[in-house]
């Protein structure tokens, strides 16, 4: 068996684990493994721009769930985010924009609104919104404190070889060796391609336009999403900067409409935004930045190959409508690192197929479940077909008022619980649901879920007992 710690290896460029991609996921893996004494090298093309408290917020932000915050605390990087900036949110709301079939008037959203409130759940907060760069910087600052981890930036990986152990060659000719290669190199992962791992890819007929705005009024403590027949419209509060309020908006629509919106100048765009978005949108005073993205679901056929394992967007990208991308990635981090550390502690080969398979066995079904739920949201909300509209109205209204089982599905979809509860039936692929009678089956999925005793006790139970959480 090869040396598990790498400490007796004379080559200074030899590591236990090599990680391609120092984004949020790759850096979190490095911190966790480095923390327990494993020797890790992380390669990235770029360093994130340094933090300055007066900088306007970045376009790319993520809603991090309480479980993701736990992970960042565990690797000792949360303190660095606290020292920079983040926006906590206490409430989260989802509803559908409905119009009266006869008059065309908009129906008040409170009739089909589902809202979660941290106070009701006995929690201090439901999550935080953090700029992706700030999370990455916080993890890089933590890496700098760890003697065991080396961050190699800028580094362009040009070749990998897994014939005997792992060998990574950089474009500048430097060569590094290790026992295991982690591909955390994002949605267009080269590690995945070079390893010959196939991807199941499905583009959605929607693009997302992300917009950073300034707004007036009180600082918001809620993140919300209003579903329309062309796609959701979402608001995420950002931290105040120099006494001013900022928000991140996501406008989902057809690629053609997103292109047309992108061409508008700031002021006409601001007016259109204010008119089109739900009334809950505070008064937007300035549009600071805009960027659009195609929405593509990707799932690697397998999460590992010989001495190679994938995590985060390299393994899966999902429709961002529930903002779960990096939260799923952080779940990968927790499971993968605990499997690697357990194997190392048993003096087993942490790069062996059985260890990597045990990671895949936990994470692939969970990520697949979230993708299927996002597909159901996408297909049942983003259209005007009358029976489906009726079914979803029933679904959301009932979810908001009576059946906690349905609320639980929403909670899972919004990242408030991170493991699909064992007492709920698995959600099949949308294609299976729609195979026979769409309306009956969609309704069945949402209505057969059992009523639960109380949101609070379930929340505690679910928070306390997930199987893949340390």
Distance (Å, whole) CA 394 – CA 392: 5
Residue 46 within binding range of ligand FAD, rule CB under 6 A? yes
φ, ψ of residue 92 to 5 degrees: the values are -145, 130
CB 136 within 8 A of CB 24: yes
Residue 156 within binding range of ligand FAD, rule CB under 6 A? yes
Among 17, 157, 334, 355, binds ligand FAD (CB under 6 A): 157
Q: Per-residue string for binding with ligand FAD, 120-139, x by CB under 6 A?
A: ------------x-------
CB 214 within 8 A of CB 51: no
CB 455 within 8 A of CB 407: yes
Residue 57 within binding range of ligand FAD, rule CB under 6 A? no
Dihedral angle at the C-alpha atoms of 345, 348, 351, 357, nearest 10 degrees?
-100
Residue 43 within binding range of ligand FAD, rule CB under 6 A? yes
Binding segment (CB under 6 A) for ligand FAD, from list 38-46, 143-151, 388-396, 402-410 = 38-46
CB 358 within 8 A of CB 339: yes
Residue 371 within binding range of ligand FAD, rule CB under 6 A? no
Instruction: Write out the DSSP string of 190-233.
Output: HHHHHTT--EEEEEEEEEEEEEEEEE-SSPP-EEEEEEETTEEE
Residue 210 within binding range of ligand FAD, rule CB under 6 A? yes
Residue 400 within binding range of ligand FAD, rule CB under 6 A? no
Residue 190 within binding range of ligand FAD, rule CB under 6 A? yes
In sequence order, which residues have a C-beta less than 8 Å from that of residue 164 and are 6 or more positions away? none
Q: Which is nearer to ligand FAD, 144 or 347 (CB)?
A: 144
Residue 155 within binding range of ligand FAD, rule CB under 6 A? yes
Tokens in use for 168?
Answer: 């990574």
Distance (Å, whole) CA 251 – CA 202: 20
Q: Which is nearer to ligand FAD, 134 or 210 (CB)?
A: 210
Residue 24 within binding range of ligand FAD, rule CB under 6 A? yes
Residue 449 within binding range of ligand FAD, rule CB under 6 A? no
Q: How are strands ordered across the β-sheet holding 61-64? A: 61-64, 127-131, 87-89
Q: Which is nearer to ligand FAD, 86 or 446 (CB)?
A: 86
Nearest distance from C-beta of residue 187 to ligand FAD, angstroms: 6
Distance (Å, whole) CA 288 – CA 248: 10
Residue 63 within binding range of ligand FAD, rule CB under 6 A? yes
Nearest distance from C-beta of residue 150 to ligand FAD, angstroms: 14
**Could you tell me how many residues make up the chain?**
470
Q: Which is nearer to ligand FAD, 277 or 446 (CB)?
A: 277
- How do strand 308-310 and strand 175-183 relate by DSSP bridges? parallel
Residue 234 within binding range of ligand FAD, rule CB under 6 A? no
Among 6, 26, 395, 400, binds ligand FAD (CB under 6 A): 26
Q: Which is nearer to ligand FAD, 125 or 190 (CB)?
A: 190
Residue 233 within binding range of ligand FAD, rule CB under 6 A? no
Among 23, 232, 278, 395, binds ligand FAD (CB under 6 A): 23
Residue 159 within binding range of ligand FAD, rule CB under 6 A? no
Among 44, 220, 233, 375, binds ligand FAD (CB under 6 A): 44
Binding segment (CB under 6 A) for ligand FAD, from list 109-117, 179-187, 266-274, 429-437 = 179-187
Residue 59 within binding range of ligand FAD, rule CB under 6 A? no
CB 343 within 8 A of CB 355: yes
Q: Which is nearer to ligand FAD, 137 or 250 (CB)?
A: 250
Residue 331 within binding range of ligand FAD, rule CB under 6 A? no
Residues of this chain, 268-327, that bind ligand FAD according to CB under 6 A: 293, 312-313, 320, 323-327
Nearest distance from C-beta of residue 121 to ligand FAD, angstroms: 20
Instruction: Write out the DSSP string of 323-376.
Output: --HHHHHHHHHHHHHHHHHHHHHTTS-TTSHHHHHHHHHHHHHHHHHHHHHHHH
CB 40 within 8 A of CB 34: yes
Please report the sign of the dihedral spanned by the C-alpha atoms of residue 117, residue 120, residue 121, residue 122.
positive
Query: Half-sphere exposure (CA, 13 Å, Cβ side) for 275?
Result: 6
Residues of this chain, 340-369, that bind ligand FAD according to CB under 6 A: none
- DSSP letter, residue 291: E
Residues that bind ligand FAD (CB under 6 A): 20-26, 43-46, 62-63, 132, 155-157, 184-186, 190, 208, 210, 250, 293, 312-313, 320, 323-327, 329
């Amino acid at each position: 068996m090869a040396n598990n710690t790498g400490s007796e290896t004379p080559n200074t460029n030899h590591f236990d684990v090599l990680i391609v991609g120092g984004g949020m996921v790759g850096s979190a893996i490095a911190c966790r493994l480095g923390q327990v004494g494993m020797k890790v090298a992380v390669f990235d093309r770029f360093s994130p721009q340094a933090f300055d408290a007066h900088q306007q917020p970045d376009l790319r932000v993520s809603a991090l769930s309480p479980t993701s915050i736990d992970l960042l605390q565990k690797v000792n990087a949360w303190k660095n985010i606290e020292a920079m900036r983040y926006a906590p949110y206490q409430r989260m709301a989802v509803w559908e924009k409905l119009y009266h079939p006869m008059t065309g008037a908009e129906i008040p959203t409170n009739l089909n609104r589902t809202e979660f409130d941290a106070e009701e759940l006995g929690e201090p907060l439901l999550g935080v919104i953090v700029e992706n760069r700030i999370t990455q910087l916080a993890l890089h600052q933590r890496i700098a404190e760890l003697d065991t981890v080396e961050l190699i930036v800028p580094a362009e990986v040009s070749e990998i070889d897994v014939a005997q152990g792992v060998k990574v060659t950089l474009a500048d000719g430097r060569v590094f060796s290790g026992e295991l290669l982690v591909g955390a190199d994002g949605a267009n992962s080269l590690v995945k391609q070079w390893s010959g791992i196939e991807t199941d890819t499905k583009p959605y007929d929607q693009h997302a336009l992300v917009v950073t705005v300034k707004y007036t009024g009180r600082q918001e403590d809620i993140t919300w999403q209003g579903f329309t027949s062309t796609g959701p419209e979402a608001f995420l509060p950002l931290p105040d900067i120099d006494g001013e309020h900022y928000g991140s908006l996501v406008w989902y629509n057809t690629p053609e409409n997103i292109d047309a919106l992108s061409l508008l100048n700031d002021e006409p765009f601001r007016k259109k935004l204010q008119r089109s978005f739900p009334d809950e949108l505070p008064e937007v005073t300035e549009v600071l930045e805009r960027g659009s993205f195609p929405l593509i679901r990707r799932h690697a056929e397998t999460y590992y190959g010989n001495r190679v394992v994938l995590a985060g967007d390299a393994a899966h990208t999902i429709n961002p409508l529930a903002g779960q991308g990096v939260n799923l990635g952080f779940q990968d981090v927790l499971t993968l690192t605990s499997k690697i550390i357990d194997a190392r502690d048993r003096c087993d080969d942490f790069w062996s197929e059985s260890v990597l398979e045990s990671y895949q066995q936990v994470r692939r079904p969970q990520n697949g479940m979230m993708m299927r739920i996002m597909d159901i949201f996408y297909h049942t909300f983003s259209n005007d077909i009358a029976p489906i509209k009726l079914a979803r109205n029933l679904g959301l209204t009932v979810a908001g008022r009576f059946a906690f089982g349905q609320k639980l599905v929403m909670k899972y979809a919004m990242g408030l619980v991170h493991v699909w509860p064992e007492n709920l039936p698995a959600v099949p692929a949308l294609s299976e649901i729609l195979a026979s009678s769409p309306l009956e089956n969609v309704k069945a999925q949402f209505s057969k879920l059992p009523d639960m005793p109380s949101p609070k006790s379930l929340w505690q139970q679910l928070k306390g007992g997930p199987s893949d959480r340390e």
